[in-house]
Amino acid sequence: MPETDVKKHEPSPDFVKHAHVDAAKYEEMYKASIEDPDGFWGEHGKRIDWIKPYTKVKNTDFTYGQVDIKWFEDGTLNVAANCIDRHLKDRGDQTAIIWVPDEDDGSDQHISYNQLSSHVNKFANVLKGMGVGRGDRVVIYLPMIPQAAYAMLACARIGAIHSVVFAGFSPDALASRVNGSEAKVVITADGGPRGGKVTSLKDNADKAFEKIEHDAKLLVVKRAGNDISWTDGRDHWLHELEDGVSDDCPPEEMGAEDPLFILYTSGSTGQPKGVVHTQGGYLVYTSMTHEYTFDYHDGDVYWCTADVGWVTGHSYIVYGPLANGATTVMFEGVPTYPDAGRFWKICQDHKVAQFYTAPTAIRALMGKGNGPVEKYDLSSLKVLGTVGEPINPEAWNWYDQVVGKGRCPIVDTWWQTETGGHMLTPLPGATATKPGSATQPFFGVQPVVLDAESGSVLEGPGVEGVLAIADSWPSQMRTVYGDHERFMNTYFQQYKGYYFTEDGCMRDEDGYYWITGRVDDVLNVSGHRMGTAEIESALVSHPAVNEAAVVGVPHEVKGQAIYCYVSLMDGHEPSEELKKELQTHVRTEIGPIAKPDFIQWAPGLPKTRSGKIMRRILRKVAANEHEQLGDTSTLAEPEVVDDLIANRLNK
């Protein structure tokens, strides 16, 4: 088990004074949300505007074979009107989106709510003109440009279902998602600049169209000005179709349970799943978590560095913040371009108050030392967030001390594409944090720790098992697109009556939750179960180590042996001596049982495009089964795998 008896970081009295929620209020609201979900959500559902108010709140069933999830089912609304129209009266001139392009050339744009309205209405009319209507699917394959947000909101406005495909994906991945949803329109750009290099998205889309089996149109946003080829009749420039189009498109009245979007999971554990989210519950929950988790106040500039191709971008760049009338930053580039100070420069330039990123980015920047952070004035920062993977205490402490100067609460948010919004997270004015723990459930969330084998509920503190959720919350996924059976089999079959998260977890003596990694990743060494996260954290706590990934390999005596892939910090070289030192280090940190059997130096680790380490691939490499790597379509840099195979130990 990770060391849980560590010093807690209490929110400062000054922070608590201005926070939406303090510790007592959290207790009170949490209790109310569990004892009376209908009353609690009936009240908080009103935070968004309904065309026809709901009379029913929760109607959900987790019974395997008949899983059915409905929230606010008889209410009607329009999500885009909630994110735009209702703000125009009071904050039409306020900035909705600050767009920061890849090049650091001062051409950042401030898009006001009035301008957002005009862009989205026009975009919506263009889509209508292309024959897109209620319930039709639209695939969005765009770089991080404002048009990505316009496109999503335009779909929401006319009741079309969007499916955003990350712009780093291949033509094949794009084609399979277009085919899978029979999308009428695909939206792309000529090219997308990232880190100073332009990817021709239009070329990728052209290649994808060779494999698209139905009649679809391609709408192209002009971004990079690169040369592209053109198919008359099929391809259309957005700016041409927008010319002369009205900027008034009445919002469709949508049922709360009509689908809003389809989005695929990251593919860390296997085949990505096409997650379906609906309108009402999703917007209520994402806007509420955005406000409470980040302690967002009117006037704050909020920045989530995710890509809109991931759920984090959907819920916490676009829908949650805009429903709250916030100012949200959208960044086109990468953390290390033109140099490793880029994030911090943007924070300084735009006086960012809430900053939300992933452990992978924090570790990468930590590897570059403190210099690039210290160059900038980060006094505007109030809250720091993280999402995507367990964060090692080492990286947490660096984030806290070097970025936050010890004065910004850190919210480690555990959630999934499937959950739509934050599930376990500190609230910055309410929760004393412990580095590496996602702490406590958000309102309405009932986590349970189950024994992995028997499925029985483990009560009390100091227990470890698999994480499941006992009852529904408003932004829960409703189904796998076109495959309700798969939905039930994946999440409700193994542990009857619960939503199974596929993550391992422990609950400590304070009732705090610690995600120990994916269930598939749990090691069993001589009968001892260990989470990969724990051994990785021990490795990363050594000053020479930047990043580590741990997997089990079959072992005749122990059942499994511990195989570690280690990337070093800038300025450190691999050596046999260092290997021994790391073995001793893990032994001292955790115990003799956790001593690594193999340590392979890894210049890079295989990651999903959303930055998660793909341990399933590392397991195959370590076990010499690299002929069967499985689905690698969501891998960011396939080349790193070749290096790992070539240098495999345990031959």
Indicate the annotated binding residues. 194-197, 312, 388-390, 412-417, 503, 518, 526, 529, 540, 542, 545, 587
Indicate whether 389 belongs to the interface with ligand ATP (CB under 6 A).
yes
What is the Cα–Cα distance from 308 to 25, expressed in whole angstroms?
33
In the annotated binding site for CoA, the residues are 194-197, 312, 526, 587
From Mg ion, ligand ATP, none, which one binds at residue 191 (CB under 5 to 8 Å depending on kind)? none
The least CB distance from residue 423 to ligand ATP, in Å, is 9
The secondary structure element, H or E, covering residue 138 is strand 137-141
From Mg ion, ligand ATP, none, which one binds at residue 560 (CB under 5 to 8 Å depending on kind)? none
What is the Cα–Cα distance from 289 to 361, expressed in whole angstroms?
23
The least CB distance from residue 442 to ligand ATP, in Å, is 12
Residue type, 472: S
What is the Cα–Cα distance from 587 to 538, expressed in whole angstroms?
9
Question: β-strands 301-304, 327-331: how paired?
Answer: parallel
In the annotated binding site for ATP, the residues are 388-390, 412-417, 503, 518, 529
What is the Cα–Cα distance from 11 to 430, expressed in whole angstroms?
7
For residues 599-635, one letter each, b for 16 or more C-beta atoms within 10 angstroms of the residue's C-beta and e for the rest, the string is bbbbeebbbbbbbbbbbbbbbbbbbeeeeebeeeebb
Contacts of 345 (CB under 8 A, 6+ apart): 104, 375, 376
Out of 101, 191, 321, 388, the residue judged to bind ligand ATP by CB under 6 A: 388
In contact, 4 and 514? CB cutoff 8 Å: yes
Closest CB to ligand ATP among residues 209, 399 = 399
Closest CB to ligand ATP among residues 117, 608 = 608
What is the Cα–Cα distance from 228 to 209, expressed in whole angstroms?
14
What is the Cα–Cα distance from 409 to 426, expressed in whole angstroms?
9
Q: Largest alpha-carbon pair distance within the chain?
A: 74
In contact, 264 and 275? CB cutoff 8 Å: yes
Closest CB to Mg ion among residues 425, 583 = 425
The least CB distance from residue 162 to ligand ATP, in Å, is 17
Site for Mg ion in 226-285 (CB under 5 A): 265
From ligand ATP, Mg ion, none, which one binds at residue 518 (CB under 5 to 8 Å depending on kind)? ligand ATP
Binding mask 503-542 for ligand ATP (x = CB under 6 A): x-----------x--x------------------------
Site for ligand ATP in 412-451 (CB under 6 A): 412-417, 438
The least CB distance from residue 399 to Mg ion, in Å, is 24
Would you put residue 211 in left (φ > 0), alpha (ψ -120 to 50) or beta?
Answer: alpha
Closest CB to Mg ion among residues 533, 538 = 533
Burial of 227 (0-12, 13-18, 19+ CB in 10 A): exposed
In the annotated binding site for Mg(2+), the residues are 540, 542, 545
Binding mask 558-597 for ligand ATP (x = CB under 6 A): ----------------------------------------
The least CB distance from residue 314 to Mg ion, in Å, is 15
Secondary structure of residue 383 in the 3-state scheme: strand
Out of 75, 259, 333, 390, the residue judged to bind ligand ATP by CB under 6 A: 390
| Count of positions on this chain that bind Mg ion (CB under 5 A) | 1
The least CB distance from residue 299 to ligand ATP, in Å, is 28
Closest CB to ligand ATP among residues 117, 397 = 397
Closest CB to ligand ATP among residues 117, 269 = 269
From Mg ion, ligand ATP, none, which one binds at residue 190 (CB under 5 to 8 Å depending on kind)? none
Q: Smallest Cα–Cα separation from 71: which of 92, 56, 83?
A: 56
Q: Smallest Cα–Cα separation from 452: which of 381, 384, 360, 531?
A: 531
Site for ligand ATP in 263-282 (CB under 6 A): 265-270, 272-273
Question: β-strands 463-469, 410-413: how paired?
Answer: unpaired
Question: β-strands 559-568, 598-601: how paired?
Answer: parallel
Secondary structure of residue 304 in the 3-state scheme: strand
> What is the per-residue DSSP string for 470-537?
SS--TT---EETT-HHHHHHHHTSSSTTSEEEEEEEEE-TTS-EEEEEEGGG-EEETTEEE-HHHHHH
Closest CB to ligand ATP among residues 196, 270 = 270
From Mg ion, ligand ATP, none, which one binds at residue 117 (CB under 5 to 8 Å depending on kind)? none
Indicate whether 164 belongs to the interface with ligand ATP (CB under 6 A).
no
The least CB distance from residue 468 to Mg ion, in Å, is 14
From ligand ATP, Mg ion, none, which one binds at residue 169 (CB under 5 to 8 Å depending on kind)? none
Binding mask 50-89 for ligand ATP (x = CB under 6 A): ----------------------------------------
Indicate whether 357 belongs to the interface with ligand ATP (CB under 6 A).
no
Task: State the Cα torsion 364-366-368-372 to the nearest 10°.
Answer: 120
Binding site for ligand ATP (CB under 6 A): 265-270, 272-273, 387-390, 412-417, 438, 501, 503, 515, 518, 610, 612
- Residues near Mg ion (CB under 5 A) are 265
